[in-house]
Structure 1
Amino acid sequence: MYKFEIDDKKKVLLITAEGFFKNDESEAFMEKLYEAFGLVQATDYDLIVDVSNLDVVKQDLVYKIADAFELYDELGFKNIVIINPISILAKVQLFNIARSVHFSGAFVDSLDEWKAR
């Protein structure tokens, strides 16, 4: 499951993804992602992606995550923050995907951790 929220007052686009993604969900997620990006001026907004309750990603969907990370970087958000999964395996998997595409966003264990920086 996933959800997109835009807070124009705080200039934040919040994406929440949880559970175990399937192929059909990944396609719908990417469509919704492009739609959400069209509603904000990225350079004025922070992007926060909360995947704290995301399960390990199936191997055939890894490229979709990599594509999303690359897209996040390309759009030029003020800040890109990924809230780490609770699952250690999912966390390692996301770190490896991020490293493979030279992702520039910050990985944190909580939003408070990022705000304290």
Structure 2
Amino acid sequence: MTQKYNVETDQAKKLFIATVGGFFQMSDAEGFALKFMQEGSQIKTSEYTLVVNAYELSTVKQDLLDMLEQAFQMYMTLGFKNIYMVESKSAITSMQIRKIAEKTNFSGVLVKSMDDVK
């Protein structure tokens, strides 16, 4: 994945897919948040399932963990029908994701791959 993030809508499957990867910097996180909100404003969230695909995401630095926590909270407030978070292939990053999910009482489902999204 050369680009560190992408946001796309699969209208046929009613999926709103946010993909993040690589070693995120603060500027990447800010750009992702802006693109996410722009694309998200184009759909009726209650009809869509949000899929955050973090499979290619590298370990998140401490200063970005707060922003990641805010993102989890934001995902839960946007009114999506369902939320899936695809964990990273990195064990350390997956551990970070699980800790944030627990801390934020994440209402979505943590899965190992896109194949697990229903």
TM-score (normalizing by structure 1): 0.93
1:49 matched to which residue of 2? 52
User: Match for residue 31 of structure 2?
Assistant: 28
Measured against aligned partners, the alpha-carbon deviations of 1:35-68 in whole angstroms (never above 9, x if no partner) come to: 1220111100001111111001110011111111
1:80-99 CA-partner distances (Å, limit 9, x unpaired): 00111000000000111111
- Quick one: which of 85, 100, 106 aligns to 2:109? 106
Q: Identity over the aligned pairs, expressed in percent?
A: 36
1:37 to 35, 40, 48: 40
Aligned residues: 115
Write 1 or 2 for the structure with the bigger share of strand: 2
Gaps of 5+ in 1: none
Cα separation, 2, equivalents of 1:74 and 1:111: 23
Q: AA paired with 1:112?
A: D
Report runs of 4+ in structure 1 exceeding 6 Å deviation.
Answer: none
Match of residue 61 from structure 1: 64
Structure 1: which amino acid aligns with 2:57? L
Q: Secondary structure at the match of 1:102?
A: coil
* Structure 2 residue corresponding to 1:17, chosen from 17, 20, 26: 20
TM-score by length of 2: 0.92
Find the aligned partners of 2:115 and 2:108 in 1 and give their Cα distance: 16
* Runs of 5+ consecutive residues of structure 2 not aligned to the other structure: none
What is the RMSD of the two structures over their aligned residues, measured on CA atoms?
1.0
CA distance, structure 2, for counterparts of residue 34 and residue 114 of structure 1: 22
